[in-house]
Structure 1
Amino acid sequence: MTTTKTKANGKEANAVVAIAKALNVPVSTKQGIEISRFLRFHSTTFAKKFLEDVIALRKPVPFVRATKDMGHKAGMSSGRFPIKTAAQFLKLIQSVEANAQVKGMNSSSLKIVHLVSNKANIPRGAGRMGRSHKSSNLEIHVKEGKVAKAASKATTTPAAAVKHVETPTVEKVETVEKSTPKVEAQKIEAHKMDVPHNIPHKTEAAKIAPKLSAVSEEYLKKVQASQAQTHKKEEKELNEVTNLYEELKKKGTLRQGRSV
């Protein structure tokens, strides 16, 4: 198992590190340097998501050194989509995650501590005018992040014992007995306030009663008179209809004859 020595608070400590290498990869060294600079000291989950976006042409890689005749991209000064190089870096990160799992490391909390792209040999074709090809050596080192360590420390530290303090009970019997007469007095006052003051007395009701009876008698007389008038009209109309019917029976018509 690979271990490296790191200094933390002036003391040396052994940290488990997973390593992966890709030698003589046919990619541009300059593009590899820009991707390494951007992904260094990030988590492997972030790096994989970013490289997948680069391959899908959703996010460009910001270029800082090799920017000659390079146009800008949205949200940055200079950038490109190095699809071939991003695919090789994605394979490298997947390989180092597999190595970390073999060593018993938590693959979800891995942090990239070392990521470089170095120039490799330049293979040339046969003949006098053989063409050369670019190649690079990629190397990555990862270790578990600080979040996982903090969580493990929290689980190992025992919980502090909670001191149980007994609170003395206070008797409140006397205060309750003293406060009860006040409550009863308040209830009586509230009951007095709720009683309406607009209720008429018996004498006022006796004065109003004859007036109401007189009004009702006048209204009854008016109704009876109107009914009598309507009854007379109905009888008159009925008599007229009967007379016309009798005349129709005798003459056979209701038209009046012309004088000659």
Structure 2
Amino acid sequence: MTHIANVLTIAGSDPSGGAGIQADLKTFSALGVYGTTVITALTVQNTGGVAAVYPVSPQAIREQLEHLLDDVRVDAVKIGMVASRDVAEVIADVLSTRRPRWIVLDPVMVAKSGDILVDDAGIRAVRDILVPLADVITPNIPEAAVLLGTASPTTLDEMEAMLPGLSQLGTPYVVLKGGHLRGETCPDLLASPGGHSWLPASRIATKNLHGTGCALSSAIAACLAKLPQDAAAEAPIAAISEAKQWLHTALEESERLSVGKGRGPVHHFHAWW
């Protein structure tokens, strides 16, 4: 019998269901893996924005993680926003001791508005503690600039020039998302141990962008979790490409949903209903 993969999301809660653990669970289910959660924060938000954040204590996060991993085999982990060094250290400590096959980090540090969401200590914690722990990181262009302490690129050539610095932070696979560039296309750039390549995509005319970063990182975790133990060396690249294509279709189909008055969510279950 082939076992269904189990995937864990370590992230905050979004009452509107478009981002955070709610979006991650929908993504896991849509892609055929079983989802588990460790909540790092309760947020007060809707499709119009975030009004407040109530962090969960590092000790409560540790207890959630350890109690879950005492019982459940976890094949892949997706880590979302981590706003403090204490929380980063707890996550790294537990996952280093009981490491799953795959760790995907979405370094959530910059809001759509351009506002920095974490302080300097939080940025250093993500860069120094969690990035080297991860197998895959999925920064957008402003987040990559924050990680490297540089200006945000405005061209494909400048975007490509960021890859060596990002790879030197210690992650084997980097998915640098190009959605912040202007133009009719918004390709992502994938760095892997074997080199780098562009993942092309046309730009979709939609305001339903709430939780796209959450959805992509959790989709990558789900697709990686389904890989067999003896998968070929190029299999992770195919898994990342599969996740990106799933998200592209979820964005295309998002107009079928009517959720809120602001930035709506993607349609996670576009293949189902």
> TM-score band, normalised by the shorter chain?
under 0.3
Structure of higher CA gyration radius:
1
**TM-score of the superposed pair, with normalisation by structure 2:** 0.21
**TM-score of the superposed pair, with normalisation by structure 1:** 0.22
Q: Which has more helix, going by share of residues?
A: 1
